[in-house]
C-alpha cells in the first residue's frame, strides 16, 4: 500500500494524513485512531489492519492524526477539537472528489465519529463504553459492524451489545482478544474486508 502524505486544514491547524486511492473510484474509508493521550495515532496496529481491509475491498483510505499527534498541529481538546478535525478530514475527501465516505474508528476514534453524528453504515473496533462518556450519543446507522474482544475492560462486549440493541448494528465478538488486539490484527482485517466488500 503506497500512501500519499497529505495535509488537512482544520480551522487553521495543519493535520497530517495518509491517503491512498482504491479500485472503486470515489469510495473512501475515513479511519480515526485511539486516544491521543495514550499513544494513539494513525500508525496504530489496528488502524493499519483496518486500512488494509478497506483497501483490499476496493475502497480508498484516509487515515490522519488528530491535533497534537505526530506532525499535526495543536493540542488535545477532549473530543471537541478532534470532532472538528474529523469534519475537516471528511471535507478534504469530498473536495478531492469522494462520492462516498465510510466513517470508521477504533476506540477513542469511534467515540469521535459518534460525536460528529455517524451517518450511514460505519465500522468500529472497541468503542470504549467502559471509560468514555457516551451520554447523548447514538449508535451508528443500520448495517454497521462493531468488532470487540471478549477480554476488553475498556469496551466490555456485553455493554457494547446492550448499547447497540435494536439499532440494526451487528456486534462481532472475538474470543480471547483484549482492547489492543495484539496478534489478532488479521481477524480485524478480515472482518472489515468482508463487511466492506458487501457494502461497496
**H-run or E-run covering 180:** none
182: Cβ–Cβ under 8 A, 6 or more apart, which residues?
45
pLDDT of residue 182: 97
Question: Structure pTM?
Answer: 0.98
With respect to CATH, is domain 4-199 assigned 3.40.50.1820? Answer: yes
List strands edge to edge, sheet with 60-64: 4-10, 13-20, 60-64, 27-32, 100-106, 123-125, 145-149, 170-174
pLDDT of residue 192: 98
pLDDT of residue 71: 98
Q: Is 24 left (phi over 0), alpha (psi -120 to 50) or beta?
A: beta
| Positions of the chain with pLDDT under 70 | none
pLDDT of residue 119: 77
First CA to last CA distance, the chain: 19
Amino acid at each position: 500500500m503506497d500512501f500519499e502524505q497529505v495535509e488537512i486544514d482544520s480551522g487553521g491547524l495543519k493535520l497530517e494524513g495518509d491517503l491512498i486511492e482504491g479500485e472503486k473510484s470515489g469510495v473512501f474509508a475515513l479511519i480515526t485512531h485511539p486516544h491521543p493521550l495514550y499513544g494513539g495515532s494513525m500508525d496504530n496496529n489496528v488502524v493499519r489492519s483496518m486500512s488494509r481491509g478497506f483497501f483490499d475491498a476496493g475502497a480508498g483510505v484516509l487515515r490522519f492524526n488528530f491535533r497534537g499527534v505526530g506532525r499535526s498541529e495543536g493540542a488535545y481538546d477532549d473530543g471537541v477539537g478532534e470532532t472538528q478535525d474529523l469534519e475537516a478530514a471528511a471535507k478534504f475527501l469530498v473536495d478531492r472528489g469522494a462520492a462516498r465516505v465510510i466513517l470508521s474508528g477504533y476506540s477513542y476514534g469511534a467515540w469521535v465519529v459518534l460525536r460528529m453524528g455517524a451517518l450511514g453504515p460505519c465500522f468500529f473496533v472497541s468503542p470504549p463504553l467502559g471509560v468514555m462518556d457516551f451520554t447523548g450519543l447514538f449508535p451508528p446507522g443500520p448495517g454497521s459492524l462493531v468488532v470487540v474482544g471478549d477480554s476488553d475492560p475498556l469496551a466490555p462486549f456485553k455493554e457494547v451489545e446492550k448499547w447497540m440493541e435494536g439499532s440494526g448494528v451487528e456486534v462481532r465478538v472475538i474470543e480471547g482478544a483484549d482492547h489492543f488486539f495484539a496478534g489478532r490484527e488479521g481477524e480485524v482485517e478480515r472482518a472489515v474486508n468482508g463487511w466492506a466488500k458487501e457494502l461497496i
